[in-house]
Amino acid sequence: MDLKGKVVAITGGGGGIGRTASYSFSKYGADVVILELNEAAGKETADDINAKGGKALFIKTDVSSYESVRAAFDIIAEKYGRLDALYNNASVFLGGKDNNIADVEPDIWHKVIAINLDSIYYCSKCAIPLMKEKGGSIINTASSAAVVGVPGCAAYTATKGATAALTREMAVDFGKYNIRTNCIAPAAIQSEMVKESNLSDPEFDNEFFIRRLTPIGRWGKPNEVAELACFLASDEAAYLNGNVIRADGGITINGNVNK
């Protein structure tokens, strides 16, 4: 893949899958803009990329705040004058606090909605004007929770189902500008979020996933999601629009989970 000359913004680009994606996009030649609330993590990632000969810019950004997002994209517009790809990667799972719809508290509900869903609205709203002239790629992040029922996480599930639906709507509305919108739905990726989502499950370990859930028989790796995001941002994916791609090793189609 060749991403040379492309400007790519990544939300949550300082940690987890986002950090891995920042390195992957840089590896393929993109100018990486890291939109990250954690200043130490965002700056460290950008500095490391630059030290290795890549090009990265860190902008401290609270993706749950429209004012913060708008200010970040003003910087992107001033520095680059365009944006070729937006990876809406930032997400949160509030393990132990999210719950079923009857028991989840309003403050948790609204916090998850703000980070996981409002951020896609804010960032896409600000990114699209920078893409309209030459086209671009928007990559949203859903989850297996967007396509199957996952108990005890109503707020998270609501945001991920909405992300998949919003991806299709955006693809229809902005395809005429050659702005392609696609969605990655990961599951069983070795990341901090997966650990947080299963803190109370005594059976949650590698053996549980390998034997009962994942037909491929192993955990997914952050770089396997990051590489998919790079592909969706590349010219090689020029005819992909409106897709929800499950990066889950086959978990969501596995009818053999009880054996």
Structural tokens at position 140? 């949203």
User: Of these residues, 121, 156, 177, 239, which one is catalytic?
Assistant: 156
**Angle between the 119-131 and 154-174 helix axes, to the nearest 10 degrees?**
20
Is 6 in a helix, a strand, or coil? coil
Element (H, E) at 10: strand 7-11
Nearest residue to 21 (alpha-carbon basis) of 233, 218, 216, 167: 233
Structural tokens at position 57? 């810019």
Nearest residue to 5 (alpha-carbon basis) of 95, 83, 97: 83
Sign of the dihedral defined by the CA atoms of residues 221, 247, 23, 126, in that order:
negative
Is 156 an active-site residue? yes
Structural tokens at position 90? 């930032």
Query: Active-site residues: which are they?
Result: 156
